[in-house]
């Protein structure tokens, strides 16, 4: 059978999904250490599944860049600011959020990755990944008790603030803020959406 004649599934059968192999965090880290997975492999580990990461568009890239600059300028003396770097969740997940603030540590994670006990704020910049960020990642971050989660929603032009994590159902409280709004972050206090999302001043 030639490659051209290999049948293409029009729908993904539920049996295939149910029988996907699950990877532990240790196995995934071992694949990285052995060079099986490298920087060119745009994937992350979520709940034991190796999933593709969406390509980063121009708006996403700019927003992430400016968010990092803003956080470094305002909060580098209080927290370790990490941009697009993996964080380790025991057993099954190694996501790469767009931004994380962790408690201030002298070693700055030279020999280990940040874990849930270190994280104060986690942020995802969302366009094509909005469904995953509101779904699987919402439940992942909440299940480990991360106190505060932001989604910078580039599709709807809003900041979504998630608090009050639960073990099984994600965050129980969500607040949406538009570019002209001021919101109160439990960690960072009063902030302007326009500044956080790098939208510039109103004309």
3-class DSSP string for 50-85: EEECCCCCHHHHHHHHHHHHHHHHHHCCCEEEEECC
Output the pTM of the full model: 0.87
Q: Is 98 helix (H, G, I), strand (E, B) or coil?
A: coil
* Options 1.10.3720.10, 3.40.50.170, 3.40.190.10, 3.90.1570.10; CATH of 56-196: 3.90.1570.10
Separation CA 130–CA 135 (nearest Å): 8
Q: What share of the chain is helix, strand, coil (3-state, %, to 5)?
A: 25, 30, 45
Residue 180, pLDDT score: 95
DSSP code per residue over 140-155: HHHHTT-SEEEEEETT
> What pLDDT digit, counting tens, does each position of 49-89 carry?
999 998 889 999 999 999 999 999 999 999 999 999 999 99
Dmax (CA) for the chain in angstroms is 63
Residue 203, pLDDT score: 37
> What pLDDT digit, counting tens, does each position of 81-126 carry?
999 999 999 989 999 999 999 999 889 999 999 999 999 999 999 9
Separation CA 7–CA 35 (nearest Å): 32
Q: 103, 125, 128: which is closest to 114 by C-alpha?
A: 103
């Amino acid at each position: 059978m030639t490659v051209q004649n290999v049948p293409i599934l029009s729908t993904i059968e539920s049996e295939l999904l149910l029988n996907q192999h699950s990877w532990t965090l240790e196995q995934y880290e071992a694949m990285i250490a052995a060079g099986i997975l490298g920087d060119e492999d745009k994937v992350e580990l979520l709940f034991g599944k190796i999933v593709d990461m969406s390509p980063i568009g121009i708006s996403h890239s700019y927003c992430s860049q400016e968010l990092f600059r803003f956080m470094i300028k305002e909060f580098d003396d209080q927290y370790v600011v990490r941009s697009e770097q993996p964080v380790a969740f025991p057993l099954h997940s190694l996501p790469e959020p767009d931004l994380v603030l962790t408690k201030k540590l002298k070693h700055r994670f030279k020999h280990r990755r940040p874990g849930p006990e270190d994280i104060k704020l986690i942020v995802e910049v969302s366009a094509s990944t909005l469904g995953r960020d509101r779904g699987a990642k919402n439940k992942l971050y909440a299940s480990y008790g991360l106190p505060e989660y932001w989604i910078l929603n580039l599709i709807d032009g809003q900041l979504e603030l998630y608090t009050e994590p639960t073990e099984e159902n994600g965050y129980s409280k969500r607040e949406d803020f538009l570019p002209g709004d001021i919101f109160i972050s439990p960690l960072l206090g009063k902030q302007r959406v326009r500044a956080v999302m790098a939208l510039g001043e109103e004309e």
